[in-house]
């Protein structure tokens, strides 16, 4: 499972011109479900999103989590995070989970994030979404439950 985590001042996701998810201060998380991802991958990603210390403390050091900040999370599915462009110029998506299983893992991740007590909004799985955000910093962190980077 891969995630791109961005610290944002605000973010929203729209489908067919209608906002379906929106947050103010917090984290915009793009989530890609890889083939074979399971509960352990979900736990890893959820714990990292909840606990990663990328918000500044009083001294300006990145020492606070989204939970410490009272921020929110906007979770957006993005299978292209599992794309591989090492061969050629067109991405191969062999590493991405099949849609039905990916939807289940996405829904489980969404539920697990909500169970942390964080305010969580979401995009629509497999929809053509438009995402708007105001990055803060910018600060962007890459997560991979297989710890590839």
Domain ranges of the chain: 2-142
- Active site positions, annotated: 78-80
Residue 106 CA to chain centroid, in angstroms?
A: 10
- Tell me how many degrees the CA angle 31-47-84 measures, rounded to the nearest 5: 30
- Is a pLDDT exceeding 80 seen at residue 148? no
pLDDT band at 147 (very low <50, low <70, confident <90, very high): confident
pLDDT, tens digit (0-9, with 9 covering 90-100), for 65-120? 999 999 999 999 999 999 999 998 999 999 999 999 999 999 999 999 999 999 99
- The CATH number given to 2-142 is 3.50.80.10
pLDDT (tens digit per residue) in 121-143 = 999 999 999 999 999 999 999 99
| Beta-strand pair 2-15/120-122 | unpaired
Query: For 1-149, where are the alpha helices, taking DSSP H only?
Result: 39-51, 66-69, 99-115
What single string gives the DSSP state of each residue in 8-36?
EEEEEEEETTEEEEEESSEEEEEEEPBTT
The candidate with the shortest Cα–Cα distance to 76, out of 23, 121, 117, 17, is 121
């Amino acid at each position: 499972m891969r995630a791109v985590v961005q610290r944002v001042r605000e973010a929203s996701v729209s489908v067919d011109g209608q906002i379906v998810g929106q947050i103010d201060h917090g984290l915009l998380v793009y989530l890609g479900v890889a083939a074979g991802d399971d509960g352990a991958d979900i736990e890893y990603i959820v714990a990292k999103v909840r606990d990663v210390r990328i918000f500044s403390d009083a001294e300006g050091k990145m020492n606070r989590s989204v939970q410490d900040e009272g921020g929110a999370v906007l979770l957006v599915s993005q299978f292209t995070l599992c794309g591989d462009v090492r061969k050629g110029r067109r991405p191969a998506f062999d590493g991405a989970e099949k849609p039905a299983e990916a939807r289940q893992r996405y829904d489980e991740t969404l539920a697990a994030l909500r169970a942390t007590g964080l305010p969580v909004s979401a995009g629509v799985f497999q929809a053509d979404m438009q995402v708007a955000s105001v990055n803060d910093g910018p600060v962007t962190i890459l997560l991979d439950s297989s710890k590839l980077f």
